[in-house]
Structure 1
Amino acid sequence: MLHQVIKQFGLEIDSLTEVEDSHSSTVYKCTLRKGQNVFLKIPYTKLKFQRELEAYEILKGRVSIPEMLDYWSGDDECPGAFLLSELKGKPLTVEDSPTVAFQVGVLQAQMHTIGPPTNRKLSGIQNEFTNWSDFVEQQFYSFAEDVKNVLDPQLYTQAIEKFEQMKHKLPSPDGPSFVHMDFRPANIIVDGEQVSGMIDFESVRFGSTEIDFTKLYRDFLSFDTALYKAFHEGYNSIRPLINLETVLPFYQFIDAFNSIGWCKRRGIEKHAVFLEENLARLKEFIQQQN
């Protein structure tokens, strides 16, 4: 498949390496014979390809993202592929400064200002906003089928009960907005003190912004109050940030629960560390309930 994609784009490649931490597609960093770095991305499914394609078309010129140099709609063997420019820098880390955190807030808020297009029909990116609570519930109970095979019965029952209790306490959803659904440090590229942009749009939806802060808080904002404050200020410079204290506990809980299901689907041994992290988070949430 890789050979077919390279041939499709007519690339003359000097070196090629597979990118780690890409969970919904296969990604290769390619150095061309002219010295230019580009990325080849092959989504796992046709739907993920279509979402990514529509996202690049919607976000272009409005939010900092790679340039889509070319794409291929695929065939019976390949769901499709993208040829993307390189964003200069490396993924965001907790070592980055409040100056960077401010820009991350700006970047996310710019994305959240984008609503569903009125002049075109989308076939990949779904608008889940109208039935947002149903969407969240469907995702939760879909992963529950996998989680049930991992947790002991008592903990599983407690988790289901906690979800049913917490879901009724959410405020009205904020949107409809373009939500990334995987807005985490690995998908935010930073060059020194400058945020270059964001990547990976296989899971995007139009929905409520409240779901989009969980992974960023888990892996970045929670480590330093200065980062959280700067992010808050950056986001508010573009659009009002919702009261995260009212929604984060719920979404942190379902993130831990759903992540356990994700590990079961993708392979418990392969994702053992991530599984243990989320098991610990889930147990902590359950203990807080009791």
Structure 2
Amino acid sequence: MLNRVIQQFKLHIQSINEVEDSHSSTVYKCNLPKGETVFVKIPYTKLKFQRELEAYEILRGRVSIPELLDVWPGDGECPGAFLLSELKGKPLIPDTSHTVAYQVGVLQAGMHSVQPPVGKELTGIKNEFTDWSNFIERQFYSFAADVKDVLDSRLYEQAITKFEKIKGQLPSPDGPSFVHMDFRPANIIVDGDKVSGIIDFESVRFGSTEIDFTKLYRDYLSFDSDLYKSYQEGYNSVRPLIDLEIVLPFYQFTDAFNSIGWCKRRGIEKHAVFLEKNLSLLKGFLQ
């Protein structure tokens, strides 16, 4: 399939490497003869392809993202592929400057400022905002069958009871906004003290911003209160940040639960470390 995609894009490749930490598509970093670097991305499904394509159309010129150089709509065997420019830098790490944290806040707030386009019919990106509570519930219970096979029955029932108890305590949703659904350090590219942009849009929706802070807080903001403050200042410079202390506990709990189900679907042995991390988090939330 990769060779067919390369032929479609008429690429002359000097070297090629598969990119790690891509969970909803296969991504290849391609070095071209004149020193240029591009990325070939093949989503796992047609829906993920369509979401990503619409995201590039909606975000272009509004949020810093890779340039979409070419698109192949695919065929009966391949759901489609993208040829993307390189964002200079490396994925975000916890050990960064306050300047970077501020820019991460600006980047995310800029994305959250994007609302559903008027007069444009979308076939990939759904607007879940008007039925947000039911969307969260559907997500949770879609993973519940998988989680049930992993947890002991007592822990599983505790998790279900907790979800039912706290889901109605959330404030009114904040939106409708473009939400990434996987806004984590691996998808935020940083070059020195400059945030280059964001990548990967296979899971995006229009919905409430509250769902988009959990992974960023878990993997970046929670390590340093000063960085967290700089991030908040950056976000607030673009749009008001919701009270994260109210919503984070709920979404941290549901993210740990859903992540356990994700590990079951994708392979427990392959994702054993991530599974154990989320099992530990879930047990902590249930104590």
Specify if TM > 0.5: yes
How many positions carry a matched residue from both structures?
Answer: 287
SS in 2 for 1:118: coil
Return 5+ residue gaps in structure 1 as ranges.
none
Question: What is the alpha-carbon distance in structure 1 between the residues aligned to residue 120 and residue 130 of structure 2?
Answer: 18
Return the letter of the residue paired with 1:96: T
Question: What is the alpha-carbon distance in structure 1 between the residues aligned to residue 94 and residue 177 of structure 2?
Answer: 27
Residue in 2 that maps onto 1:114: 114
**Equivalences for 1:90-109 in 2 at 5 Å?**
90-109=90-109
Q: Deviations 1:141-173 (Å, cap 9, x if unpaired)?
A: 000010000000000000000000110100000
Q: Deviations 1:62-83 (Å, cap 9, x if unpaired)?
A: 0000000001000000000000
**Equivalences for 1:131-210 in 2 at 5 Å?**
131-210=131-210
SS in 2 for 1:13: coil
**Equivalences for 1:237-248 in 2 at 5 Å?**
237-248=237-248
Q: Deviations 1:67-120 (Å, cap 9, x if unpaired)?
A: 000010000000000000000000000011111000000000000000000121
| 1:232 and 2:232 correspond | yes
Question: What is the alpha-carbon distance in structure 1 between the residues aligned to residue 97 and residue 167 of structure 2?
Answer: 34
Q: Which moved more, 1:93-102 or 1:47-56?
A: 93-102
Residue in 1 that maps onto 2:73: 73
RMSD of aligned alpha carbons: 0.3
TM-score after normalising by structure 2:
1.00
Question: What is the alpha-carbon distance in structure 2 between the residues aligned to residue 250 and residue 177 of structure 1?
Answer: 20
Residue in 2 that maps onto 1:269: 269
TM-score after normalising by structure 1:
0.99
**Equivalences for 1:48-87 in 2 at 5 Å?**
48-87=48-87
Residue in 2 that maps onto 1:124: 124
Residue in 2 that maps onto 1:282: 282
Percent of residue pairs identical: 77
SS in 2 for 1:40: strand
Residue in 2 that maps onto 1:43: 43
Return the letter of the residue paired with 1:131: D
Return 5+ residue gaps in structure 2 as ranges.
none
Question: What is the alpha-carbon distance in structure 2 between the residues aligned to residue 222 and residue 259 of structure 1?
Answer: 19
SS in 1 for 2:64: coil
Which aligned segments of 4 or more residues in structure 1 are displaced greater than 3 angstroms?
none
